Amino acid sequence: MATWMDCSQIDLDLELPLAKRFLPHQAAMRAAADDLLTAMKKDLPAGVSHLAHLVDLRTFGRFRSEAKAQAKVMGINWRDLMLAGAAYDLTLAYFGCSTIAAATSEGPVLARNMDWWPERQLARHSYVIRNMRKGRAETTVAGWPGSIGLVTGMSAHGFALAMNAVGDGVGLHKTGYPVMLHLRRVVDECKSFGEAVERVSKQTLAAPCLVTIVGTENDERVCVERMPTTANLRYADGDSPLLTTNHFRFGEGDSRDGVGTLQSTSCGRLQGMQDMLRDKEEELSDEHLLYILSGERVRLAITAQHIIMRPRENRLRLCVPKSLLESN
C-alpha cells in the first residue's frame, strides 16, 4: 500500500493582473496563512522581523508587488512573505533533502525528498503551483499558497532544479542574494539548462547550498555545490545516477560539514539511494522512485514532500507522506 498521497494543483493565470491573479485561490491561501505561515513564524529566530526590509532591498524590490498582492488575499502583512522567502538563509539547520538525478530512455528525471520544517503543516498545504499563459505551464513549482521563493521547480524551457541544504561552518553571507529567491529568478528567467547552470553558479548567495539541475537530455545532469561566493560543478558519470544529500561531494575527502544533525544521516541516506537504485531491474517509473524516496533508509521524520520532475514532458508530480496528514 502506498504511503504517499498526490497533492492538488493551483493554476495561476499570468495574463491576469497581480491584483486578480490570486483571488480564485483565496480559501487555500488563507488556510496556509493561518496554519503554515503561523508555524513558520514561531520558529524563526527572535528579532528577525526587521530583516524583511533588508530582503526587499537586497532583491531590489523584485518580489514586493507579488508579496503585497498575495498578502492582501491572505489577510497578512506582506513582509511575512518576504521573510518566508528567506527562511532557508535564516534557519539553515531546519532543512535537509535527498535528491536523485537519473538517466532514463525518456530523458532525465529529477526526484527528491524535501525535508523541510514545519513538516506537518507544510504537507497539509502543499500544492503543485503552475504559472500559466495561454494554456501552457511556463513554470511549475512544488510549493504552498503564498510562497515566493522556491526549492523545487521546473521551467517549460527544458530544465528542473532542486536545492539541498548544506553548511560551511561560517554562517550567513550578509551581502549575498537569498537562496530561495534567487532560484525563483532562475526558474522564471532562464531559457535553457545551460543558462540555469550559469546563473546558479555565478550569483553571490547568502548561504551555501547544493542545487541539482537537469535538462532534457541525459548528459544534462549536474549538482552545483555552492559556497556563497564560489561554485563547483559535479556532473553525472555517464548514465549513473547523480545523488545529493547534505554534504559537499566535489573531490574525495572533502571535510566540510553537513547541516547540524543532518550530517549524521547524510551519508546513510546517500548509501540507501545507491543500494535501492542498484537493485532496480526496470525503467524508473514514478512509483519506483516514490518507493525509494519513502523508504526507511532515505525518508526522515521531517520529510514533507516527495517530488518527481520530468523536464522533457514538462511534468511535476508532488506527493506528501500520508502519516503527516493524520491528526496529532
For 232-252, how does the pLDDT look when each residue is reduced to its tens digit (9 = 90+)?
Answer: 999 999 999 999 998 887 764
Better pLDDT: 280 or 323: 323
Grouping H, G, I as helix, E, B as strand and the rest as coil, residue 24 is helix
Question: What DSSP letter does each residue of 113-177 carry, written as one string?
Answer: EEE-SSHHHHHHT-EEEEEEETTEEEEEEEE-TT--S-SEEEETTTEEEEEEE---SS---TTSB
The pLDDT of residue 254 is: 38
258: confidence class by pLDDT, cuts 50, 70, 90: very low
What tens digit of pLDDT does each residue of 284-306 get? Answer: 999 999 999 999 999 999 999 99
Q: β-strand 127-133 against 9-13: which pairing, if any?
A: parallel
pLDDT digits (tens, 9 = 90+) for 83-102: 999 988 887 656 779 999 99
Residue ranges covered by each domain of the chain: 14-89, 92-325
Q: 263 vs 266, which has greater pLDDT? A: 266
Question: Which one, of 82, 87, 72, 77, lies nearest residue 52 by Cα?
Answer: 82
pLDDT in tens, 197-225: 999 999 999 999 999 999 999 999 999 99
pLDDT at position 92 is 60
324 vs 328: CA distance, rounded Å: 9
The pLDDT value recorded for residue 90 is 80
Any idea which architecture 92-325 has in CATH? Answer: 4-Layer Sandwich (3.60)
Residue carrying the nine cell digits 535538462? 215
CA dihedral 115, 116, 122, 124 (to 10 degrees): 20
Q: Note the pLDDT of residue 15.
A: 96
The percentage of residues in the chain with a pLDDT greater than 70, rounded to a whole number, is 91
Predicted local confidence at residue 253, as pLDDT = 38
Note the pLDDT tens digit of each residue in 129-180: 999 999 999 999 999 999 999 999 999 999 999 999 997 666 788 899 999 9
Model confidence at 257, in pLDDT bands (50, 70, 90)? Answer: very low
CA angle 175, 55, 118 (to 5 degrees): 110
Would you call 74 helix, strand, or coil by DSSP? Answer: helix
What residue type is assigned to position 83 of the chain?
L
State the cell numbers at 13.
493565470
Asked whether the predicted pLDDT for residue 308 surpasses 60, the reply is yes
Distance CA 163, CA 207 (A): 12
Strand order across the 98-102 sheet: 4-6, 315-321, 303-310, 109-115, 98-102, 242-244
Q: What is the pLDDT of residues 13-63, one digit of tens each?
A: 999 999 999 999 999 999 999 999 998 888 777 667 788 999 999 999 999
Span 183-200, average pLDDT: 98
CB count, 10 Å around CB of 253? 4
pLDDT band at 255 (very low <50, low <70, confident <90, very high): very low
